[in-house]
Structure 1
Amino acid sequence: MENVLAVLNLGDFAHAFSKMGMFPVFDVAYYIVSILYLKYEPGSVEVSRRSPVASWLCAMLYCFGSYILADIMLGSSPIDYFQHNSHILLASAVWYLIFYCPLNLFYKCVAFLPVKLVLVALKEVVRTRKIAAGVHHAHHAYHHGFFIMVIVGYVKGSGVALMSNFEQLLRGVWRPETNEVLSMSFPTKASLYGAILFTLQEAHWLPVSKSTLILVFTLFMATCKVVMTARHSHGSPFTLIESWVCHLLFGSPLSTNEEDNHHAPAAAAPTSPLKSKEELSEGARKRKAKKAE
């Protein structure tokens, strides 16, 4: 990998990319996409009208849940990250604009697909940095605790999803069947695999520099998420490999989501297979608002 980058003269670019600051452009994109997904959740708009404090707390969990969970695991105060006033104020401004901007103008702009694709790509840059930072932080606290490095990196990359049930309670919703551990989404799986890769690199078992790994993993994550968002897909590029591995190691049946949907009864089929969960939730919310009018 290093030789290829040397031939392409990308080594310096990878190093510069790994040192590039995330604040404010990339962080703003992360906050926008995170809170955008919060607004897609059933009942979130109603909560924002009924209890702005609860809505704000949910938004902060969506933006900083990974930091909170990682701090708890490493024995730090869960509110440590809230000392960064600029980040809290920026995320709060994004939350206000998405939920309370007149005529929903800000929401309509950031939900416009071409804009959303750019924001999603920028968010994955932040996710990769968080995974790498989590592994590095755990390495300093537990120098030979490789499993701890993986867990902390995994939490840093997908802590928001892992805390989703707690966030639901703040909105007055309880859906234990949506537990992310039971049914991992692509970002959650990718965060786990990324944490393993960065742990191997931190332990010098992976012959690749950290800057190179950050660049390659960021390109992979951004490309996958942009394609999946553009196609309104919730599939995973890991599905085929995981099905074979699970079949060999755990005796699980070989099946894919497409096969499951093909064999499912017609009555259980979704109303629009081309629409994502977020779009379906948003459509239901709009229909409810029209009926109220």
Structure 2
Amino acid sequence: MSVLDNELFVKVQNAVFDYPVFPTLWIPHCIMMSLALRNTLGGNWRGFSRQHPMSCFILATLYTFPGGILATAMLAQPVLSFMLNTPFVLAMMGSWYLVFYSPNDLFFQLVTKTGLILPFSGAQDFLRLHLVLSGVQTIHQLHPGSFFYPVVFAICKSSGFMFLKYAEYILANGLNQAFVIPHHSTKTCILASVILTLQSLGHLPIDLKPLFAILVGISLSFRLLTVLSSWDPYQAFENVFCAIAFGRPIENASPSKKKNKKED
């Protein structure tokens, strides 16, 4: 009997595949995105949030729903349709308010001083893979034989924040920085988009549920390992690929010495 047929693994894969996004994955995501906005605003976050609360709220909305907004636009649907899901919007609003306006900044201190950032980041990675899966399934239903469309759509839906940050940088500084993929979680979403699309097309000899459970396990393991060390799980492959495909010497493709501790 293979590992995939093991009774315990079957229970785990079913639990992972059927795990509800709301509330235990979505609320940590909302909190992490409000924290990301606060980090972007820098030392002036308090003054900005008090003087311009509506602007702060709109930015928090864009930070929380970038993938959903981008995905609906790609499907030629109303970009504000995410607001139809009232519990999700209310969770975003509550998270934003607590991060920026809790008395004596108690909520921020609670999250940052008690180590909740790690489990919240893991929940966010789990959520992203659910978004990858739903993105692939959405396009597969509309265009069953397509490969590139579901891959690109799933990447945009799960990693819309990456595109938002690049657009944000362009608006502030102009086109003087290359587009980069700065974090392993986004790279995992790209890889998962390709793998799940291949599975949906019948090119992989594995069922969807065990495959998804394996991807979630890999993603959460990467999160834990990169918190404990500065190791980038994709760097070695990127170096070799760039050297072979683009002629860039491997020694010139060394990883950054500074660990990126912020979420992408």
TM-score, normalised to structure 2, is 0.89
1:10 Cα deviation after fit: 0.7
Does the CA-based 8 Å contact 1:61-1:167 persist in structure 2? no
Q: Deviations over 1:216-250 (max 9, x none)?
A: 1111112212332344x4x5211101111121122
The within-5 A match list for 1:1-293 is: 3-7=2-6, 9-43=8-42, 45=45, 46-112=47-113, 114-167=115-168, 173-174=172-173, 176=175, 181-231=179-229, 233=230, 236-255=232-251, 273=258, 276=260, 278=262
In structure 2, give the amino acid aligned to 1:110. V
Flag structure 1 segments of 5+ consecutive residues without an equivalent: 262-272, 280-293
Segments of 4+ in structure 1 off by > 6 A?
none
2: CA distance, partners of 1:259 / 1:197: 25
In structure 1, give the amino acid aligned to 2:247. G
1: CA distance, partners of 2:256 / 2:186: 21
Secondary structure of residue in 2 paired with 1:139: helix
Kindly report the root-mean-square deviation, in angstroms, between the aligned alpha carbons of the 2 structures. 2.5
Q: For the structure 1 residues 92 and 65, does the alpha-carbon distance in structure 2 shift closer, same or farther, using more than 3 Å as the test?
A: same
Q: Deviations over 1:131-190 (max 9, x none)?
A: 010011011122212100000111122111111244568xx84465566x3344322222
Q: For the structure 1 residues 99 and 196, does the alpha-carbon distance in structure 2 shift closer, same or farther, using more than 3 Å as the test?
A: same
State the identity as a percent: 23
Secondary structure of residue in 2 paired with 1:9: helix
Instruction: State how many pairs are aligned.
Output: 261
1: CA distance, partners of 2:137 / 2:196: 8
Q: For the structure 1 residues 237 and 110, does the alpha-carbon distance in structure 2 shift closer, same or farther, using more than 3 Å as the test?
A: same
Flag structure 2 segments of 5+ consecutive residues without an equivalent: none
Does the CA-based 8 Å contact 2:98-2:107 persist in structure 1? yes
In structure 2, give the amino acid aligned to 1:84. N
Tell me which moved more, 48-57 or 65-74: 48-57
2: CA distance, partners of 1:108 / 1:12: 37
1: CA distance, partners of 2:176 / 2:220: 28
1:210 Cα deviation after fit: 1.5
In structure 2, give the amino acid aligned to 1:187. S
Does the CA-based 8 Å contact 1:131-1:191 persist in structure 2? yes
Secondary structure of residue in 2 paired with 1:182: coil
Tell me which moved more, 126-135 or 8-17: 8-17
